[in-house]
Amino acid sequence: MSTAITLNQSDIPAEVSAKRPSQWRQKTGQKLQQILWALVLPLLVLGLWQITSAHEWVSPQILPPPSLVWQTLTELWQSGDLTSNLQISVERVAYGFGVGTVVGLLLGALMGLSKTVEAYLFPTFKALSQIPALGWIPLLIMVVGIGESMKILVIAKAALVPVTVNTLQGIRNIPPQFAEVAKVYRFNTRQLLAKVVIPAALPSLFTGIRYGLTHAWLALVTVELLASSEGIGFLMVWGRQLFQLDLVLATVVIIGAVGLLIDQSLQWLETHFLKWRRVAF
C-alpha cells in the first residue's frame, strides 16, 4: 500500500554501524564544544562587570561586585535562610500549579472536543483570561485576605490560562486530513482520541504545561514581591528595602536557577516524549 522507502538495519553499510566508539568520542567532543561556546558570552559579561566594579566606574551601591554577590549567596546558603524560604515558595508553586493544570487540561479538552462547550465557555474564558493574574490581586486581597489562599489562587490562575489555551489550540489545529483519514478507517471516539487527537495535540499540550509551570513560578515571584513575609520573593524585597543590591542580585540568581531547573527538566521531558517529530534544523 505505501510507497515509502523503509530502511532496515541490514541496509546500512557495515562501515557506518561499526563506528560506535569513535562516534561516542565525537559526541562528547561536540558536547564540550557546545558548552565552551555557551560560556563565551557569560564570561565576557562577568569580566566586564568585574572590571567595572574594580575601577568603581559605577557606585557599588548601584552595582555591587560579583564577588560580593557570591559571598552573599554562600552566606544565605550557610545560614539556612535560603532553604527555608525556597521551600515555602516551592510549596506554593506546587499547589497552585497542580490546581491550575488539572482544571486547565479539562477545560481545554472540553472546549477543543465540543463545539457547543466552546461556544458557551470560550468567550467568557477569553474575557477573564485577558485580566492578568496580577489584575486579580487587589480584588483577591479584599475578598480572601492577604494569606496563603490568595497566593495559591493567583498562581493557579496563572497556570490555568496557558494550559487551557494550548490544549484547545492543539486539538483545534489538528489538520482536517487527519480527521478525514480517521473517518475513512471508521475510528470510534476512543480510537479517534487515542490515535489521532492526543498524539497530534501532544506537542501543543506540552507547550501549555511548560508555559503553565513557567507562569506559575512567575506569578509566585510577583505575589511574593507584592505581599508576603516569607519566601524567595520576600528576600528580594527585603534586600531592596535595605538598599542591599548584593542581596537583590543573589535572589535574582536563585530565582533564575529555579526557573532554569524547571525549564530544563520540562524540555528534557518534551524531547524524550516527542522524539518522533522530524524537524529540519
List of residues contacting another protein (CB under 8 A): 34, 37-38, 40-42, 62, 115-116, 119-124, 126-128, 130-139, 141-143, 172-176, 179, 217-218, 220-222, 225-226, 233, 236-237, 239-240, 243, 245, 248-249, 251-252, 255-260, 262-263, 277-281
State in angstroms the smallest separation of the CB of 1 from another protein.
20
State in angstroms the smallest separation of the CB of 155 from another protein.
12
Q: How far is 224 from 250, CA to CA, in rounded Å?
A: 16
Residue whose cell numbers read 480584588: 139
Output 47 or 256, the one with its CB closest to another protein: 256
Output 48 or 143, the one with its CB closest to another protein: 143
Residue 162: C-alpha distances to residues 67, 120, 129, 165, 192 (Å):
39, 19, 9, 5, 24
Q: How far is 138 from 254, CA to CA, in rounded Å?
A: 27
Q: How far is 79 from 222, CA to CA, in rounded Å?
A: 25
Output 10 or 61, the one with its CB closest to another protein: 61
Q: How far is 132 from 147, CA to CA, in rounded Å?
A: 20
State in angstroms the smallest separation of the CB of 45 from another protein.
8
**Whether 166 contacts 211, CB under 8 Å:** yes
State in angstroms the smallest separation of the CB of 119 from another protein.
4
Output 18 or 242, the one with its CB closest to another protein: 242
Closest by CA to 220, choosing from 141, 136, 154, 131, is: 154
State in angstroms the smallest separation of the CB of 18 from another protein.
26
Q: What three-state secondary structure class fits 131? A: coil
Q: How far is 102 from 228, CA to CA, in rounded Å?
A: 26
State in angstroms the smallest separation of the CB of 255 from another protein.
5
State in angstroms the smallest separation of the CB of 152 from another protein.
17
Output 14 or 279, the one with its CB closest to another protein: 279
Output 99 or 246, the one with its CB closest to another protein: 246
Q: How far is 224 from 158, CA to CA, in rounded Å?
A: 14
Closest by CA to 151, choosing from 236, 90, 239, 83, is: 90
Output 99 or 232, the one with its CB closest to another protein: 232
